[in-house]
A and B are shown apart, each in its own frame.
Chain A
Amino acid sequence: MSELRLPMLSARPFNLLRSGLQWLRRSGDHVDAREPVAVCHLRLSGPRDAPTPPLAEEQHDLQLVLASRTAGTVQYQADLSRGGYQDLLGSTEWDAGTTVGSIDAPDGNGELMSMVLAGRRGFENGEGRGGLLAGWHERARAFWEGNGAGRFGTVLSLGTCEQTGVFRGEDMAFLSWFARAPGPAQIVAVADERCVHSSAVLLQHLRRTSAEAQAITAAVHEWLGERMAQLDLHSFPAFEPGAASGTLAGRWPAVQDLLFALHLLGESVGSCPILEGSELLTRGGLVQQGPADAIALSMGSELVPHYRHRRTGWLIAIHGFRFGPYIGPGLMEWLRRDFEPVRRTVANMQQDLSALAAEVMARTGAALLVQNLVASSALNRISNYSWLGEAFDQTLPVISTEANLMLGDLTRTPNVSMIDSDALAVALGVKHCPDGAHASGELLEAQRREVHRILRERRIPGF
């Protein structure tokens, strides 16, 4: 039997506070090694006149996951969980060494392993507390020292939704990586809900100047002004005649387009995720971490509709399915008037990916891991193509296959690897990915293993 104790963790010279513990497994449960058993919220505080504390942008969604180093049956100290907001807000000094329970494993080292989860809110006021990394985050990350030594290795995921499954996992909290990568390691996932991170968009962001950022901001500001000026008495359905006795009209519709445009702007003129560093809490104190060592991208991002702002050249890529009755109508009108659609061929994609690989190599030295498209499909049961004629070249299976072949060629570049999702889906059967993007748990696990293998072969520290 070993005592399970809170690990060493420091934010020196700032104070580190924690909330009560929320148990993720019940007392008496059997747990695997590195399987999370508890979580608490963290907060950093300093004197009033101190500069902005570290991790300031992630202060409200900073959590610590605790796991046993060995497998066994766990028993907890009931009084460590306080319930209610006491388990959501950091208010007690970090107390390394405190016994939280025990495990029936004959391991002498009962110090719990820890993984920090940090979410940077898309909108600072956008509160969404609850489970692990709950809420709307434009950047979410997890880092853990684990058993390893040396510097942290960082992997940045900039792909579309299929990579949310691979990196954040079904728990959305990176737990499957905590279990497999020894550490010290960090995974960062940046959302694609507003702008999709295609190679063309990233390349432009990497090269953006402050003058260009200012011009883009002015263009958005101008459109927002115009859009607000178009509002009239009928733009507020909540106040229409009859609404006083109850309305189904919901929110103020026009504001959704405006908010979308503002967030799109915020991401475009904010820091480029490829260059962005981060701060890490460790046993020995705060550590400044540089840009990512490896960047995961999706070929799927390349196929998303792209638009270029006519006056400023600002390039954006947006998933069409994000638009609906609330977000969309006004924005579409703006896209039609002030932007031009950019048709990208496979050759354009190759050019942009190639340039991005070279630029990233020169700026940070990071490797690009590009997830190919699941081009194999159960849907296209065609044995005779002669009726398709010239339309054949424009069909999605053909474009996907050509894009995958292009990516295969591109891996002859030193810092580019391909995550062959197509082959993994075919190995298991494409019913594991019927729409080509959203994989089953089994396929996601196969993709995760493959990403892990590539990271290890590329000797990314901590993986």
Chain B
Amino acid sequence: MSAPASRSTRALRIFARGNVDVRDSMLWSRVNGVVQWNGINEVLRVRHPGIVAKVKHETCARIDLLPVPGEILPAPPEEIARGLPSGAHPIARQHQSALFDTPVDAVILSLQSAVLNTLVRHRRDGWLLLPEQFDSWDSASRAWLEHECENAGLAAIEPTLRRLEQLISTVHERLAAPVLVYNLSPIIPGEQPHCWLGAEDSLALRVRRFNLGLAELATRLDFSIVDVDRIVACAGADRLKVDLVHLTAEGLRLVTEEVVRILEERGCFDALRAQP
């Protein structure tokens, strides 16, 4: 949660579920203890004085693990969730969300988890799990996971987009809030394959497929794309990108400004000012 609102300010309630792309732009980006970018309120302070964004943020193990109301996704039992190591993606929270718990003015999601995160599946019970930073796990936890689970791989595009469609439709029905979805820039500094003979898709190719699929979905469903791909393309990846997912402070500012522009187009600020 960010930026508590005083009595004289109005609060724009944003629910954001995503990883570094969403967190860094909407909340903050810190490198070696130094704040590089201080979130959406940096932009609002200038463009909409008197309005403060209250961002409720959840990390996203993967978009298909975000439940819709009434849905209980198969999840690891509590004792397993407690016993296994976890960092930014607490195992106990990977299959839950507060998205539909309270009213919000806008919802922000991202393709990043769907493109990048490889899950494991429990061999017997079938639940999925993101074993974050598996390499740093203790040997007992690793051995347990290797024995009990199998690689479930990356998310396929079509099911992911169908799930996203379901989520967005549910947000419209339950929360009547606009949905913004971040796409990704496919450029990976230092990587320039020219031939994929005998290879799986490169990440860059996978990002491009997801971006195109997202744009196609947007022709059928009323939501907005935060076009990170275009923003990076305009200013140049050499200037804006650190790696596949991390942007420089300038890049984060440009992405956040685009979020604010879309929220303006969606009438979020006008609606807020019109409230008694």
Contact = CB atoms under 8 A, between A and B. Distances in A.
Given A405-B209, A427-B238, A412 B225 contact: no
A383 B227 contact: yes
Interface stretch (B34-42, B94-102, B123-131, B194-202): B194-202
B262 interface: yes
B223 A427 contact: no
Given A377-B230, A411-B196, A431-B234, A392 B219 contact: yes
Contact of A429 (B197, B226, B239): B239
B239 A376 contact: no
A388 B219 contact: yes
A404 interface: yes
Interface stretch (A131-139, A203-211, A413-421): A413-421
B222 A426 contact: no
A405 B212 CA distance: 10
A412 B195 CA distance: 6
A246 interface: no
Given A383-B262, A385-B218, A405-B209, A425 B195 contact: no
A388 B187 CA distance: 27
A378 B233 contact: yes
A381 B224 CA distance: 11
Contacts of B204: 423
Contacts of B186: 423
Contacts of B235: 429
Interface size class of A (residues with CB under 8 A): 35 or more
A433 to B, nearest CB: 10
B153 interface: no
Contacts of B230: 376-378, 380-381
A382 B195 CA distance: 31
A384 B197 contact: no
A87 interface: no
Interface residues of B, number: 47
A288 interface: no
Contacts of B261: 383
A398 interface: yes
Given A382-B227, A408-B196, A429 B219 contact: no
B208 A401 contact: yes
Most buried by A among B193, B199, B211: B193
A385 B181 CA distance: 12
Nearest to A429: B236
B185 interface: yes
Given A401-B208, A426-B185, A429-B239, A385 B215 contact: yes
Contacts of A218: none
Contact of A384 (B193, B195, B216, B222): B222
A425 B233 CA distance: 7
A305 to B, nearest CB: 24
A430 interface: yes
A282 B219 CA distance: 60
Contact of A386 (B192, B212, B219): B219
B71 interface: no
A412 B220 contact: no
Given A412-B199, A420-B194, A423-B187, A389 B219 contact: yes
Interface string A101-139: 000000000000000000000000000000000000000
Given A384-B224, A386-B219, A419 B194 contact: yes
Contacts of A430: 233-234
A162 interface: no
Interface string A384-401: 111011101100001001
A301 B263 CA distance: 40
A296 to B, nearest CB: 12
B88 interface: no
A404 B225 contact: no
B149 interface: no
A386 B232 contact: no
Interface in B222-252: 222-227, 229-230, 232-239
Nearest to B266: A384
Interface in B150-206: 180, 185-187, 189, 192-199, 201-202, 204-205
Contact of B198 (A412, A419, A457): A412
Contacts of A409: 196
B138 interface: no
B211 to A, nearest CB: 8
Given A423-B187, A427-B187, A429-B239, A398 B215 contact: yes
Interface in B249-270: 258, 261-262, 265
A428 B223 CA distance: 30
Contact of A426 (B196, B211, B237): B237
A381 B233 contact: no
A338 interface: no
B95 to A, nearest CB: 30
A378 B232 CA distance: 10
A428 B238 contact: yes
A152 to B, nearest CB: 23
14 contacts: A377-B233, A382-B225, A383-B225, A389-B219, A390-B219, A392-B219, A398-B216, A411-B194, A411-B196, A419-B194, A423-B192, A426-B187, A428-B236, A429-B235
Q: Shortest 5 CB-CB distances between A and B: which pairs? A: A429-B236, A376-B233, A385-B218, A417-B194, A383-B224
Given A411-B196, A426-B187, A427-B236, 17 more contacts: A378-B230, A383-B261, A386-B220, A390-B219, A392-B219, A402-B212, A404-B208, A405-B208, A408-B196, A408-B208, A423-B187, A423-B192, A427-B187, A427-B237, A428-B236, A428-B238, A450-B194
Interface of A: 369, 376-378, 380-386, 388-390, 392-393, 398, 401-402, 404-405, 408-409, 411-414, 416-420, 423-432, 450, 453-454, 457
